[in-house]
């Protein structure tokens, strides 16, 4: 039993340990367990996926469209958005979580660290429940390994990349994961004031990440993006593919969803569009293991579906909890976003429409035409027919025989 720090009570520790979900039996048998010789760091990640997909990927492995599959073992712990913590791999083994990485001259940080995945995105807020569980877990691990708050780092702090069009030398910025991690909210005090590998000239800084983790530079110009814009996965003049995806910008698993509904994988952007010509408001989706056509067919319909790779957050972003985002649950319940507790608590198969008002009940005296005007048979107009059957206006053949109780949802003007 670790000794107690001022922050947590004994009962908090006990409750946390008791509620820890043991997921170790789900680990891919192909993963080779090797005991780690030293533990110097704790590395915090955001998984860039919902909980179900996160648990699958860290235990079973990452699937690439080329057919290549990793053997799993990509984290020691996963923390869900409701705070529930899963043990993926016993902490004494090496987890394959940090990839090409360096801190204070030491490379391959997976060899000397514990990896914790927070279910969610670096462009979405981390929940209070996640911070509470993470704070407790870090406290327990720090005492066990005799390390301090200063040894807790994010993956985006320790990852580095090889030269690319943006950097002529090895550099930071390969990973963005957990750049939204607020150490203070996890109860941590001390921190690095600078990046030791940049200071020693081993790596070039990524200006945006440096601003997030170490504050404004003492000399030289400020980076383009403002921290407020870090919370978005939409391309803008100051939020580039690099800012959002880091070194994964040109990967097949990074999918670009263009404003017109077209999708392209990262490895096709240079040839088909060119990095400088990505339109503003292009959405960047990381860690996609389905083909871009699957995402495209989803993007081109007004009714979105929650699947293992597309969460309510990937569909709606911060609008997931607005009244104008309407959810149709598999149970038949219809709920506005304001009644949804969290975007990761929705079952797969839940459908949603984003930017809508309604419902408007169709009656004998109030026809679809009277409610929707000329838009009554448009693809943007949504009909909720009986038993949760959703159809867009353009798919309805006979408007004179709509079932009793049919309702209409109308799109709000954009903006
Ligand atoms: Zn990571």
Q: What percent of the chain has pLDDT over 90?
A: 74
Report yes or no: 7 and 137 within 8 Å, Cβ to Cβ: no
User: In the predicted model, is pLDDT for residue 220 greater than 80?
Assistant: no
| Rounded distance from Cα 163 to ligand 1 centre (Å) | 20
* CB atoms near residue 124 (< 10 Å): 22
| Rounded distance from Cα 128 to ligand 1 centre (Å) | 20
User: In the predicted model, is pLDDT for residue 279 greater than 90?
Assistant: yes
User: In the predicted model, is pLDDT for residue 331 greater than 50?
Assistant: yes
Report yes or no: 86 and 143 within 8 Å, Cβ to Cβ: no
Taking residues 149-162, report their average pLDDT: 97
The DSSP bridge partners found for residue 90 are none
pLDDT at 230: 57
pLDDT at 181: 95
- Residue carrying the six token digits 């107009």: 381
| Rounded distance from Cα 184 to ligand 1 centre (Å) | 20
| Rounded distance from Cα 156 to ligand 1 centre (Å) | 7
Q: Which residue has the higher pLDDT, 231 or 27?
A: 27
pLDDT at 415: 61
| Rounded distance from Cα 260 to ligand 1 centre (Å) | 30
| Rounded distance from Cα 154 to ligand 1 centre (Å) | 8
Nearest to 251 by CA among 289, 277, 281: 289
| Rounded distance from Cα 102 to ligand 1 centre (Å) | 13
Question: DSSP label at 100?
Answer: S
Taking residues 162-172, report their average pLDDT: 91
Q: Which tens digits make up the pLDDT trace of 359-382?
A: 999 998 999 999 999 999 999 999
Q: Which residue has the higher pLDDT, 306 or 220?
A: 306
| Rounded distance from Cα 111 to ligand 1 centre (Å) | 15
| Rounded distance from Cα 140 to ligand 1 centre (Å) | 21
> What are the boundaries of each domain within the chain?
10-223
CA distance 142 to 391: 54
User: In the predicted model, is pLDDT for residue 274 greater than 80?
Assistant: yes
Q: What is the pTM of this model?
A: 0.92
CA distance 327 to 352: 4
pLDDT at 208: 87
Give the pLDDT band (50/70/90) at residue 6: low
Question: What would the two tokens of residue 92 be?
Answer: 């004494």
Give the pLDDT band (50/70/90) at residue 309: confident
**Mean confidence (pLDDT) of the chain:** 91
| Rounded distance from Cα 44 to ligand 1 centre (Å) | 7
Report yes or no: 365 and 387 within 8 Å, Cβ to Cβ: no
User: In the predicted model, is pLDDT for residue 411 greater than 50?
Assistant: yes
Exposure of 367 in the CB half-sphere (CA atoms within 13 A): 11
| Rounded distance from Cα 280 to ligand 1 centre (Å) | 26
User: Phi and psi at residue 211, in whole multiples of 5°?
Assistant: -65, -40
Q: Which tens digits make up the pLDDT trace of 83-101?
A: 999 999 999 999 999 999 9
pLDDT at 221: 62
| Rounded distance from Cα 77 to ligand 1 centre (Å) | 12
Give the pLDDT band (50/70/90) at residue 146: very high
Q: Which tens digits make up the pLDDT trace of 346-359?
A: 999 999 999 999 99
Q: Which tens digits make up the pLDDT trace of 26-61?
A: 999 999 999 999 999 999 999 999 999 999 999 999
pLDDT at 414: 74
| Rounded distance from Cα 146 to ligand 1 centre (Å) | 23
| Rounded distance from Cα 122 to ligand 1 centre (Å) | 10
Give the pLDDT band (50/70/90) at residue 4: very low
According to the CATH classification, is domain 10-223 in 3.40.80.10?
yes
Task: Give 160: exposed, middle or buried? Use CB within 10 Å, 0-12, 13-18, 19+.
Answer: buried
| Rounded distance from Cα 386 to ligand 1 centre (Å) | 44
């Amino acid at each position: 039993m670790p000794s107690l720090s001022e922050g947590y009570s004994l009962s908090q520790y006990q409750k946390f340990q008791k509620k820890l979900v043991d997921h170790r039996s789900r680990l891919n048998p192909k993963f080779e367990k090797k005991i780690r010789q030293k533990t110097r760091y704790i590395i915090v990640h955001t998984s860039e996926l919902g909980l179900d997909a996160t648990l699958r990927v860290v235990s079973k492995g990452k699937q690439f469209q080329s057919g290549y599959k990793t053997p799993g073992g990509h984290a020691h712990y996963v923390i869900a958005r409701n705070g529930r913590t899963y043990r993926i791999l016993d902490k004494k083994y090496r987890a394959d979580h940090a990839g090409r990485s360096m801190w204070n001259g030491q490379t391959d940080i997976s060899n000397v660290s514990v990896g914790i995945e927070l279910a969610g995105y670096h462009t979405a807020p981390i929940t209070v429940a996640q911070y509470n569980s993470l704070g407790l877990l870090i406290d327990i691990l720090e005492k066990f390994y005799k390390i301090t708050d200063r040894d807790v780092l994010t993956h985006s702090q320790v990852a580095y990349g090889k030269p690319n069009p943006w950097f002529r030398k090895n550099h930071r910025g390969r990973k963005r994961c957990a750049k939204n991690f607020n150490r203070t909210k996890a109860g941590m005090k001390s921190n690095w004031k600078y990046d030791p590998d940049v200071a020693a000239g081993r790596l070039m800084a990524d200006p945006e990440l440096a601003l997030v983790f170490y504050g404004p530079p003492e000399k030289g110009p400020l980076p383009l993006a403002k921290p407020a814009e870090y919370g978005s996965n939409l391309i803008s003049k100051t939020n580039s593919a690099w800012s959002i995806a880091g070194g994964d910008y040109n990967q097949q698993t990074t999918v670009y969803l263009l404003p017109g509904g077209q999708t392209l994988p990262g490895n096709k952007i240079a040839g088909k569009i060119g990095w400088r010509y990505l339109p503003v408001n292009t959405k960047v989706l990381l860690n996609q293991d389905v083909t871009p056509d699957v995402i495209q067919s989803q993007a081109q319909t007004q009714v979105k579906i929650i699947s293992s790779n597309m969460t309510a957050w990937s569909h709606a972003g911060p609008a997931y909890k607005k009244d104008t985002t309407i959810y149709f649950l598999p149970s038949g319940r219809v709920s506005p976003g304001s009644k949804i507790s969290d975007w990761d608590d929705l079952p797969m198969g839940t459908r949603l429409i984003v930017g809508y008002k309604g419902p408007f009940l169709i009656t004998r005296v109030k026809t679809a035409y009277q409610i929707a005007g000329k838009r009554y048979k448009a693809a943007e107009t949504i009909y909720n027919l009986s038993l949760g059957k959703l159809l867009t206006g353009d798919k309805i053949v006979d408007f004179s025989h709509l079932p009793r109780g049919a309702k209409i949802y109308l799109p709000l003007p954009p903006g």
